[in-house]
Copies of this chain bind each other. A is one copy, B any other.
Amino acid sequence: MKEKRIDLSTETKIKEAARTVFYKKGFSATRTRDIAEEAGINLALLNYYFRSKEKLFEIIMLETFSAFVQSMTVILNDENTSLENKVELIANRYIDFIIREPEVPTFLISEIRNNPQQLLEKLPVKQIINNSVFFKQHGEAVKQGLIMEPNPLHFLLNLLGLVVFPFIAKPLIMGGQDLDIEQFNALMIERKSLIPIWIAAMMKAK
């Protein structure tokens, strides 16, 4: 029972409507008329405020991707948390986030394939990750023999795979296992405490 806040400015109404529709259907399947209807505004206002469907999309895309990457980099660059802490934080925050915004992962995956280039230019993921505290801590742990696999990319991919993949497979899991959304979410919440244990075990394995 999501409450529609009624008091937004027209511009904000359009942006939030665009977010809703783009998240659900992707860029190509979204009609500007869908957005106008969702926002309860005249179609021409979309172009009045945002010039074009594409410009509006870019705004939503950049905001969404930034939010996703931002919280990651903040966690990965905290000097005051251990590797174990970081794993817990990422599992907890991302699972909570995706439960609130379940359409975001599939939206990002589907739409990034079109122009990953452009997106990566605007968000310099490269440096942010490679110079991260996380990378240094990982290197240390490898040197001390606490982690067997030396490539930190495998570590990150494993962590994100365990966190994100189940949400991507959600339609199949729910349909294939007759789960309702409550049961599915419960399963994901379980994983918040399981993933750190699993990651710890994996990384020691050889």
Contacts and interface: CB of A to CB of B under 8 A. Distances in A.
Given A187-B153, A198-B205, A106 B116 contact: no
Contact of A166 (B125, B157, B204): B157
B158 A112 contact: no
A7 B162 CA distance: 44
A5 B138 CA distance: 48
Please indicate which of the listed interface residues A112, A173, A176, A206 has the most CB atoms of chain B within 10 Å of its own CB.
A176
Interface string A148-162: 010101100110111
A17 interface: no
A202 interface: yes
A109 B112 contact: no
Contacts of A80: none
Q: Is chain A's interface secondary structure helix, strand, loop, or mixed overall? A: helix
A191 to B, nearest CB: 7
Interface in A134-172: 149, 151, 153-154, 157-158, 160-162, 164-166, 168-169, 171-172
Contact of A206 (B113, B117, B174, B197): B197
A73 to B, nearest CB: 12
A171 B113 CA distance: 7
Contact of A161 (B166, B171, B175, B204): B166
A67 interface: no
Interface of A: 25-29, 106, 109-110, 112-114, 116-117, 120, 125-126, 129-130, 149, 151, 153-154, 157-158, 160-162, 164-166, 168-169, 171-178, 187, 190-191, 194, 197-198, 200-202, 204-206
19 contacts: A28-B29, A106-B110, A109-B168, A110-B110, A116-B171, A120-B176, A130-B177, A151-B190, A153-B173, A153-B177, A154-B194, A157-B165, A157-B173, A165-B165, A165-B168, A197-B206, A201-B202, A201-B205, A202-B202
